[in-house]
A and B are shown apart, each in its own frame.
Chain A
Amino acid sequence: GAVVSQHPSWVICKSGTSVKIECRSLDFQATTMFWYRQFPKQSLMLMATSNEGSKATYEQGVEKDKFLINHASLTLSTLTVTSAHPEDSSFYICSAGDRSQNTIYFGEGSWLTVV
């Protein structure tokens, strides 16, 4: 079964509203989690590193006020897309590293459609 779980899998929202996506590590604790975005037929692009108990680290070109990241516990990170616009429609995927397995797992992904 999944070791990293994302919710929701699909979400449709209206322009101007905010949407929250959750990422949970189920069998291990993760001090860092990662959020990626993937547009159709393109590869994964790292948006930000979610750090437990501290501020997220954003990649160049990613608006931190638009993509709010919270990592309040060792098993949960949330990404909130604020004031969503149609161009924010994309596949959002989180990942976390399991130190005991030295492996990086991905969540199932979340499809966001902004109408």
Chain B
Amino acid sequence: GQNIDQPTEMTATEGAIVQINCTYQTSGFNGLFWYQQHAGEAPTFLSYNVLDGLEEKGRFSSFLSRSKGYSYLLLKELQMKDSASYLCAVRDRPDDYKLSFGAGTTVTVRA
């Protein structure tokens, strides 16, 4: 089966940095996605890691270590609009676009 773990909630101050960790144990691995989801809306794509290392995209960065089954999403210079749920998802086969999701981490940014 698929087992994807991430913290349930995190709180941070506007302008600060928050790191959301995700660990996974899956039957296969062909990439890890991070999505942002605001309440009542569909997820929006943030990042995709398939090789080890850090991918930086503006204020958001994502890191992957395949040997450790570990990823994190780093949010810098937090803004109020970053308050949302962040979903870690694993794709287990290269020819398949099916994703297994973690439960999601709700990030609350406070002024």
**Are chains A and B native binding partners rather than an unrelated pairing?**
yes
Interface residues of chain B, those whose CB is within 8 Å of chain A, are: 33, 35, 40-45, 48, 87, 91, 96-104
Stretch with Cβ within 8 A of B (4 or more), from A61-69, A78-86, A99-107: A99-107
B42 and A108: CB pair below 8 A? Answer: yes
- Say how far A22's CB is from chain B's closest CB, in angstroms: 14
Partner of A43, one of B42, B48, B91, B103: B103
B97 and A109: CB pair below 8 A? Answer: no
Interface residues of chain A, those whose CB is within 8 Å of chain B, are: 6, 30, 32, 34, 42-46, 49, 91, 93, 95-97, 102-109, 111
- Complex Cα spacing A96 to B96, Å: 10
B97 and A106: CB pair below 8 A? Answer: no
- Complex Cα spacing A66 to B87, Å: 28
B87 and A44: CB pair below 8 A? Answer: yes
Residue of B whose beta carbon sits closest to that of A42: B103
- Say how far B43's CB is from chain A's closest CB, in angstroms: 5
Inter-chain contacts of A107 with B (CB < 8 A): 42
Inter-chain contacts of A43 with B (CB < 8 A): 87, 101-104
Residue of A whose beta carbon sits closest to that of B41: A109
A95 and B97: CB pair below 8 A? Answer: yes
- Complex Cα spacing A108 to B38, Å: 12
B101 and A34: CB pair below 8 A? Answer: no
- Say how far A1's CB is from chain B's closest CB, in angstroms: 13
